[in-house]
A and B are shown apart, each in its own frame.
Chain A
């Protein structure tokens, strides 16, 4: 536990060091996200009086933003470490790479969460979502599911991070996840509209089950909630184990080839 707190402190130190230097990039990046959220929210829910539908959609958008980050950030972080020459130092510390990577993404998520809460609040105000909706147990349960779904995406992120160690430009694959989560998670388009094969593929990813479960919880629709929850947990385990396994296999390749310091 103490170790975890210490690692989180270390990674927060690094994230804030980065923000200090690239504050203008961060500021405009955040502004971009803010306008995108407002635009998407307006386009997809204008005229709707369905308060729970709007809230579900907002959760979907949040999941899209954080999920994409969870995936591409891990790959980018690895590529950055190799480019800078710091990966070798990171590997030589007493902390396993998978642990430092996990806490770095947690630190980044905490940082993003601060602005996420702000954007969430602005969207709620701008689109007249009743405040009472968030002061409920259902909302708290939805937030918990949101984080479980996010955790499962970290597994995907580990996989990309591992591939980035070997193939260097693997983070570009991660950009695909941006479209996948936006259009194939059920947030913007009901997946029933897609061919069967696409539906089957979408169900392999945790974002679909996470969004389905959140919708079920918010609407108090018991049908399928147990199934969504069970598959989500199963996928959390599968993606996490698969991701860490991939990262370790790729690290082995790096040790064999001696490319931890080469880009």
Chain B
């Protein structure tokens, strides 16, 4: 399902102040695409996700699912979207895992056999099979999160919205989520939007990344492009330090120092131009940036 976000703005008003959560956001997400939305706390990620699934009405602009405006077709949107917003809080504590799956399955119009088959499949996949009949209030946070994810998946949604899906998950479960997301996007043509701070998840998904800051989209690129762009700007230098020779650049990120030899990273191209002809420059190579470094660079406006 194609998602079009056009000029989306949203503010929260209280008696004392107005907080602008989204400012003129424009995005197009194609069917089968996985998009990671990143940003600091309060950047507007959850507001964006809630606007897409129709849980929040924007002040201006609109979200379109296959050309239909979400807030004029709420039942259409709710029928096709699944969202895990606060995983561990999205389930009934006094019901067992299976009862939760059955309850939401019935409300989503699934038949008994379909519920049983899907529940068995996903409970096995997320290693919850033996906890099927345990009330979820006895679950760990990660297990509750898994139950919430299974509920979202059982609906077989065309748009899947996940707010911090791997929060509290062990590595194996996190990998299972990643595998399922890839499968849903590639085989099923589902559009998947994830807000996360999980570097491992972002790295493994290798998806499109939308960076948000103060309610605005500040960068929208695929992870490989961001890595390439970042690598073009950043270099690892091995330099022999001598009295009277060039000093380390102001942004030098020192990695190693032995005697008069220093290994560091820099993105200061003017400094590099000055030392390129110097005999003190032992080695220079392009850096590969980690997701965390890319995030910091984008959010500080250096990428």
Contacts and interface: CB of A to CB of B under 8 A. Distances in A.
Contact of B99 (A17, A89, A96, A260): A17
Contacts of A95: 107-109
Contacts of A20: 94
B103 A88 contact: no
B151 interface: yes
A6 interface: yes
Contacts, number: 95
Interface stretch (A7-15, A48-56, A175-183): A7-15
Interface in B85-108: 85-86, 89-96, 99, 102-104, 106-108
A13 B115 CA distance: 14
- Per DSSP, chain A at the interface is helix
B135 interface: yes
Nearest to A254: B55
A6 B83 contact: no
B94 A17 contact: yes
A14 B103 contact: yes
A3 B107 contact: no
Interface string B120-157: 00000000000000010000000000001001000100
A261 interface: yes
Chain B: number of interface residues, binned into ranges: 35 or more
Contacts of A130: none
Interface string A94-132: 111000100000000000000000000000000000000
Contact of B108 (A88, A93, A96, A255): A93
B95 A88 contact: no
B75 interface: yes
A21 B91 CA distance: 15
Nearest to B148: A89
Given A21-B94, A86-B89, A261-B85, A6 B109 contact: yes
10 contacts: A3-B109, A13-B95, A17-B99, A85-B86, A85-B89, A86-B89, A86-B90, A95-B109, A255-B55, A257-B12
Interface of A: 3, 6-7, 9-10, 13-14, 17-18, 20-22, 84-86, 88-96, 100, 252, 255-258, 260-261
Interface of B: 10, 12, 47, 50, 53-57, 71, 75, 78-79, 81-83, 85-86, 89-96, 99, 102-104, 106-109, 135, 148, 151, 155
Given A10-B103, A88-B83, A261-B86, 14 more contacts: A6-B109, A10-B102, A13-B106, A86-B91, A88-B85, A89-B83, A89-B104, A90-B107, A93-B108, A94-B155, A96-B75, A255-B56, A257-B12, A258-B50
